[in-house]
Amino acid sequence: MEKRLLRSITAVLFALTVAACFVLLNFPDLHVYALQRQLETAGRGREGRSVLDLMRRETEILMGSETEPALKKQLRLELPKDVEENEVEIRGLYVDQTVEIVIPRMDDSYFYDYPMIGSSDHITDVKYDLEDGQGVIDIQLDGVFEPDAEIEGRYLHLGFLDPREIYDRIVVVDAGHGGSAVGATKQGIEEKNIDLAIVQELKKLFDEDPQNIRVYYTRLDDSNPSLESRVGLANALHADLFLSVHNNSTASGRMSGINGTEVMYRVSDESGRSKQFAQFCLDSLLGTLGSQSKGIVAGDEIYIVRTSEAPVALAEIGFMTNQEELDKLNSQDYQKKAAQALYQAVLRMLEEKDE
């Protein structure tokens, strides 16, 4: 009886030893399988699959190895073997507080073939999706940061910099409306397109400005960020100024003789800087465009004006319900003049702050 029991125990121990050896020898394959299962079971939402927990686990595993080199920046991604450095795109989607990495020919096996490791500081989520034969990785942050990327060999090293540590001044410029929110529409001309055209001309001026001023734009295409996102960008950046570009119409929407330029400001700004900024914008626009003054007016009923923490001016360049002004607003020459006027107003206001 005792011998039979002893043989049974020996057999069980032998089986456990064999199983343990099998697990140890095949650990890499089992680890890959586990990662694969996590990716397959991860919830796919509107913005893709989350791999933040996977990144944290991979970091714990790999950075615990004595042979693993120290990180050069906050994150490290290995590029697929068939992807060249110049094929990788890194974009700052500042309104969404997201850094986007586009890697061609990426597939669902990427995150277990090429682990992403690093610190999750300031990272709220990491999601990826496959679009048109390429992978799109969205690193969602808890604030607005500038991507600091360096590719060395097969590795992409990525950090996130506070804009306030890089730039002397920060300005946020908002082109009103966009997407399905067209704004005022007259004779087939949509306000959203005029607003955007003026802002694009303004961007050209700031791009050539030698000063260390960083300008962030709520949109540079036919998108329609939410009002919360627009003013939220300025607030998250602790911007020095927030400028929103619009065009006006009569309350009835009918064509009329009413014309001119007005600028809204935040009355509740006790420092008076919003009112000062609005006045600078109005003066500059009137002097450059030769338009009639409609004055600076209280804009606290407007969400992005009321909730802006930075001095804010919402410029209504002209009336689309006035034929002469509509024709001007729809011309590139007038749009350039409006942009030049706003550019000068912003610089003047920034100079005032320095004094």
DSSP 302: S
Residue where a domain stops, chosen among 161, 180, 209: 161
Q: What average pLDDT does the segment 167-184 reach?
A: 98
Query: Under a CB-based contact definition with an 8 Å cutoff, are residues 83 and 113 in contact?
Result: no
In a domain, 52, yes or no: yes
Residue 70 has what pLDDT?
A: 78
Whether 210 and 249 map to the same domain: the answer is: yes
Whether 129 and 278 map to the same domain: the answer is: no
The percentage of residues in the chain with a pLDDT greater than 90, rounded to a whole number, is: 75
> Is pLDDT of 236 > 90?
yes
Whether 215 and 147 map to the same domain: the answer is: no
Question: Which residue did the predictor score with more confidence, 69 or 243?
Answer: 243
Whether 252 and 154 map to the same domain: the answer is: no
Q: Provide the whole-model pTM.
A: 0.85
pLDDT-derived band of residue 108, with 50, 70 and 90 as boundaries? confident
The percentage of residues in the chain with a pLDDT greater than 70, rounded to a whole number, is: 85
> Is pLDDT of 307 > 90?
yes
Residue where a domain stops, chosen among 161, 181, 209: 161
List the domain range (segments joined by +) for residue 185: 165-354
Element housing 32 (H / E): helix 27-41
User: How many CA atoms, within 13 angstroms, populate the side-chain half-sphere of residue 279?
Assistant: 7
| Distance from chain centroid for Cα 142 | 11
In a domain, 320, yes or no: yes
Other residues' Cβ atoms within 10 Å of the Cβ of residue 3: 7
Q: What average pLDDT does the segment 116-120 reach?
A: 93
Q: How many domains does the chain have?
A: 2
Element housing 263 (H / E): strand 261-265
How is residue 40 written in tokens? 């397959």
How is residue 154 written in tokens? 């097969």
> Is pLDDT of 166 > 50?
yes
> Is pLDDT of 31 > 70?
no
Residue where a domain stops, chosen among 130, 161, 192: 161
Q: What average pLDDT does the segment 219-246 reach?
A: 98
Whether 266 and 142 map to the same domain: the answer is: no
pLDDT-derived band of residue 35, with 50, 70 and 90 as boundaries? very low
Whether 156 and 266 map to the same domain: the answer is: no
DSSP 310: S
In a domain, 18, yes or no: no
> Is pLDDT of 354 > 70?
no
Whether 153 and 184 map to the same domain: the answer is: no
Whether 111 and 126 map to the same domain: the answer is: yes
pLDDT-derived band of residue 332, with 50, 70 and 90 as boundaries? very high
How is residue 176 written in tokens? 């009103």
In a domain, 21, yes or no: no
